Amino acid sequence: MTYQILADIVVVVHLLWILFLIAGALWGGKRRLVMMVHGAGLVFAVVSQVFGWYCPLTHLEAWLMERAHPSPAYHGSFIAYYAKKIVYIDVPPFAIFVLTLVLIAVNGWLYRKAFGRRGARGEGGE
C-alpha cells in the first residue's frame, strides 16, 4: 500500500514537473533561481530525448509500482490514473522532440521579453 501511494505521488509530481517545464518562464521571468531550474530542466529534456534516456521520475515510478504489486486492471488512485494518461501520452518520440524544441523557443522568447522589460526600466544588467 505504501509503495502504491508513493508511486501515485511520483506521478502527480511528474505531471507538475511537466507543467512547470511548459509554463515555467511565466514564473521564472521574475525570479532568477526559478529561471535557472527551469532552464536546466529544459536542457535535460532535450538531452534525454537526444540520447533516448527516460526521466528519473519515470524510473522511480516504475520501481515503486513493481514493489506495490498492482493488480492488472486499475493501477493507483483516480488522480494518478488520469495523470498517467497525460504524462505518458501516446505520441511518437520525434513529435515530442519537436514540441520540446518549440517549447524552448517560446520560453526563450518569454525570458527575453521579461528581461528586456527589466533592462528598459533599469532593473537588470548590472
Buried b (16+ CB within 10 A) or exposed e, 13-43: ebbebbeebeebbeebbeeeebbeebbeebe
Q: What mean pLDDT value characterizes the chain?
A: 81
Q: With 90 as the cut, is the pLDDT of residue 96 above it? A: no
Instruction: Label residue 126 by pLDDT band (50, 70, 90).
Output: very low
Q: What is the per-residue pLDDT for 52?
A: 85
How does pLDDT run across 46-74, given as a tens digit for each residue?
A: 898 888 888 899 889 888 888 886 555 45
Q: What is the per-residue pLDDT for 30?
A: 77
Of 40, 37, 71, 44, nearest to 58 (Cα)? 44
